Amino acid sequence: LNEPNFDGSYVLDFGDVLELQLVGQKSSITKIPVKRDGSINIPDIGKVYIAGLSLGKAEDLISKKIDIAFIGVESFISLVNVRDIQIIVAGNAFNPGPYTLNGNSNMFHALSVSGGPSPMGSFRNIDLIRNGEIIDTYDLYQTFIYGKTNFKSRLRSGDLIFIRPIQNSVSVEGAVNRPLTYELNDDENLSKAVFFANGLTNEADLSDISLFRIGQKGGVQKIKIYNMKEFEDLSANDNDKVSIRRYPFKTVSIRGAVANPGQYVIRDGDGIKAA
């Protein structure tokens, strides 16, 4: 797994190593580790506590200390070694268990190394738990379907990523661009499932739309849908199946002494004259 890029918001802690370069009347390059008490030892200055500070704030603090101690010296700080963290991926994960990541990792990296949600796991309800409290809940559809990145919280040692079980599983089949099974939240209706399926194809027969739903007595009910807008008023039940009939078409190739030879699309059942 490639290391994610670092920025000024990275929070420093024990195990990180900084490189301090001084340029001017006093020139030197020194590697300074963050100690267990959260401090670094700057030569000729002494202890400076930086654990819990972002990289950007630590740079400002160190630069001020250098400016006070030396005249005509400019300082440059960079992060040269990153600490490891221990986290746990639990719940309905493909490979649950403890994992070692670098300190700049977020939840997406942890899900990648653990294989992500299992077939019974939710893509839409994944908790980041720290010190027994849920500090964030992630919806992977925001990334995979909407193209939004919302992995702002960096992981810390002891964090627990808990993948909850899938709730409303809805299958969409037939004349849609991406027929698959999708997970809907409680506040989402069946029209959202069609949206997740990338909408209808141009082969959709809007006169033949059905919803198959498990009834209270255990049987499967077939519900006739007369208009796609009806889905906006139907909440999702687990194991619902939306079926949109696809017009049966054939491709016919015509050659020889005709005005426009080539390939033509006709409906199933039409004859040569239609082509």
pLDDT for 110 beyond 90: yes
Length of the chain, in residues: 275
- Please give the average per-residue pLDDT across 96-115, as a whole number: 92
The mean predicted confidence, pLDDT, of the chain is: 89
pLDDT for 259 beyond 90: no
Q: Per-residue confidence at 3, pLDDT binned at 50, 70, 90?
A: low
pLDDT for position 254: 85
**Cα distance between residue 29 and residue 21, in whole Å:** 4
DSSP element (H, E) containing 60: helix 55-69
Instruction: Name the residue with higher pLDDT: 167 or 240.
Output: 240
In the chain, the amino acid numbered 96 is: P
pLDDT for position 145: 92
pLDDT for 274 beyond 60: no
CB count, 10 Å around CB of 267? Answer: 10
- Please give the average per-residue pLDDT across 227-254, as a whole number: 89
**Cα distance between residue 254 and residue 275, in whole Å:** 8
In the chain, the amino acid numbered 240 is: D
- Please give the average per-residue pLDDT across 243-270, as a whole number: 80
pLDDT for 88 beyond 80: yes
Residues 6+ apart with CB under 8 A from 16: 33, 34, 79, 81, 82, 83, 103
Which tokens sit at 197?
A: 């399926």
pLDDT for position 4: 53
Say if strands 84-91 and 160-165 run parallel, antiparallel, or are unpaired. Answer: parallel
For residue range 20-64, what is the model confidence (pLDDT) as tens digits? 999 988 889 999 999 999 999 998 899 999 998 999 999 999 999
pLDDT for 1 beyond 50: no
Residues 6+ apart with CB under 8 A from 275: 252, 254, 264, 266
For residue range 66-83, what is the model confidence (pLDDT) as tens digits? 999 888 889 999 998 889
pTM of the model: 0.76
